Amino acid sequence: MLELNLKPLRPYLTAGLMAIAATAAVLPVTPVWAQTRTLPDFTDLVDQVGPSVVNIRTLEKVKASAAGNIDEQMLEFFKRFGIPVPPNAPRAPRPDDPSQPDEDQPRGVGSGFILTTDGYVMTNAHVVEGADEVIVTLTDKREFKAKIIGADKRSDVAVVKIEATGLPAVKIGDISRLKVGEWVMAIGSPFGLENTVTAGIVSAKQRDTGDYLPFIQTDVAINPGNSGGPLINMRGEVVGINSQIYSRSGGFQGISFSIPIDEAIRVSEQLRISGKVTRGRIGVQIDQVTKEVAESIGLGKSQGALVRGVESGAPADKAGIEAGDIIVKFEGKAIDKASDLPRMVGNVKPGTKVTVTVFRRGATKDLAVTIAEVEADKPARKASQSESRPPVAGPAQALGLAVSDITDAQKKELNIKGGVKVDAVDGAAARAG
C-alpha cells in the first residue's frame, strides 16, 4: 500500500502561503462593477449630429368657417326637435364652396435630417403625405417652407428641399458594418418635443414585417413624431430612418423599426433626379418555400421563392418561368427567402436583361428575363385561371395538389376515418412523384 507522507512538505507549504498572502496584500483590488464595460457616452454624438436633425410640421388647407355660423348638422338638429332657426343666422360655408377662403390647419409633426449642404432633407413618405405645406425647423430655430421633391410610398422615403446653403449634412454609414447588439441613437420630435435623444441597441437586421423593405429592429424609444428622424451609430453616421413601431397601445413598447440607409439613399437619388422611383418587375406571384415543399421536390433546404402564378404576357411568362418553379437565384445571387426577390427585381432598371435561375424537376435551369417597369399606383395583374400557366393557390396546392373532402360513403368503402382526396397533381407534387 502506497502511503503519502506530507510532513516534510509542510514548512514549504507554509512559507509559500505566507508569500502569496504578502503579495495579495499589496495588489490593488478592483471592484467587480469597475471590471465591466462602461456604458457609452452619447454627448459628443449629440453635439455632432444634432444640428443635422430637423423638425417637420405639415399643414393642410381647409375652408374657413366663421364663428357663430350654423352648419348643416345644426340645421338638422333644429328641424328634428322643432326649434325655430334664429332669424338672419349666417349659414356655414359648404366645404366645396370655391368662394370661401382657405385656412391652414396643423396636420402632423415628424422629423427629418439634412442630406446635403444645399438643403435636401430626407424624411418618411407618410410624414409629408397629403400635406399642402411643409415647414422645416432647424435646431437654430430657423424655419423654412419646404418643397416636396418626391415621396415613395412603397419604401416610405421622401425628400424635401429648403432654400438654404451651408447646412450641416449628416454622414452616411455602411449598413454592412452594423451588428446586432451594437449601440445606436435616435434624435427626433416625439409628440412634437424637438431634438429628443433616445438610445438602445440593434435587436435584429433584415427583419421582414411584410413591407417592401426589410427593417433594422432596435429597442430605441420611438414614438409618434420620431418618424423620419435618423438612427445613428456610435461613429456618428446615419444607418437608418426611424419609421415604425410595434405597439398595442400606440406608444413605444420596446420594438422599433428603421429603414436601412442604403435602401433609403437608393430611393432618394431617384427622387432627387426625377421626383419618382422607377422599379423593375417580372410578373410573378410568389410565396415562401416551406420545409415540406423543399423536401417534396428534393431542394434540400427551404430557400428561394415559390412561383404561385405567372402573369400572362409578363417578362416571366415570355422567359418560360412556370407556376411551381422555385426561383433560387437572381443574377447569380442566392435568394434566401421569398421577400428578397421583389427588392432584387425592383432595383434593376427596366429594359435590363437578367439571368433568373429556377429549380424545376430536380434540376436548376437558367432563364433570360427582360425586366419590365412597375406601373405607378397600379397593382400588377393577377394570373387568371384561364391562362396557360394557372396559379397554384391555397394551402394544399402549394405542393401542386388539388384536393377535396372525402364523403362518408367513401370513408366507409375505404375503411378509413378521415383524410382528403387528391383530385389532381401538378407542379412540385408531380415532380416529387
426 is catalytic: no
Select which of 156, 317, 325, 340 is catalytic: 156
- Residue pointed to by grid coordinates 350654423: 70
Quick one: CA torsion of 331, 335, 338, 342, rounded to 10 degrees? -30
**Cα–Cα distances in angstroms (integers) from residue 341 to residues 210, 272, 334, 397, 401, in the given order:** 13, 26, 10, 21, 25
156 is catalytic: yes
Q: By three-state DSSP, how is residue 164 classified?
A: coil
Phi, psi of 66, deg, nearest 5: -70, 145
**What's 141's DSSP letter?**
S
Whether the Cβ atoms of residue 41 and residue 100 lie closer than 8 Å to each other = no
Report how far residue 338's alpha carbon sits from residue 89's, in angstroms, rounded to the nearest whole number. Answer: 64
Whether the Cβ atoms of residue 55 and residue 140 lie closer than 8 Å to each other = no
Report how far residue 250's alpha carbon sits from residue 233's, in angstroms, rounded to the nearest whole number. Answer: 26
Q: Between vectors from CA 215 to CA 212 and to CA 217, what angle results, nearest 5°?
A: 155
316 sits in which H/E element: helix 315-319
E strand map for 211-269:
215-218, 230-233, 237-245, 256-260
- Would you state the cell numbers that stand for residue 197, as one nine-digit string? 435623444
Cα 79 to chain centroid, rounded = 52
Whether the Cβ atoms of residue 143 and residue 133 lie closer than 8 Å to each other = no
Residues 6+ apart with CB under 8 A from 14: none
Residue 162's nearest CA partner among 179, 145, 150, 141 is: 145
Whether the Cβ atoms of residue 231 and residue 263 lie closer than 8 Å to each other = no
Distance between start and end Cα atoms, the chain: 73
258 is catalytic: no
Report how far residue 41's alpha carbon sits from residue 339's, in angstroms, rounded to the nearest whole number. Answer: 37
Select which of 155, 189, 203, 227 is catalytic: 227
Burial class (CB in 10 A: 0-12, 13-18, 19+), 156: buried
Report how far residue 329's alpha carbon sits from residue 339's, in angstroms, rounded to the nearest whole number. Answer: 13
- Would you state the cell numbers that stand for residue 302, as one nine-digit string? 427551404
Whether the Cβ atoms of residue 139 and residue 166 lie closer than 8 Å to each other = no
Q: What is the residue type of 365?
A: K
Select which of 71, 126, 208, 426 is catalytic: 126
Q: Return the active site residues.
A: 126, 156, 227
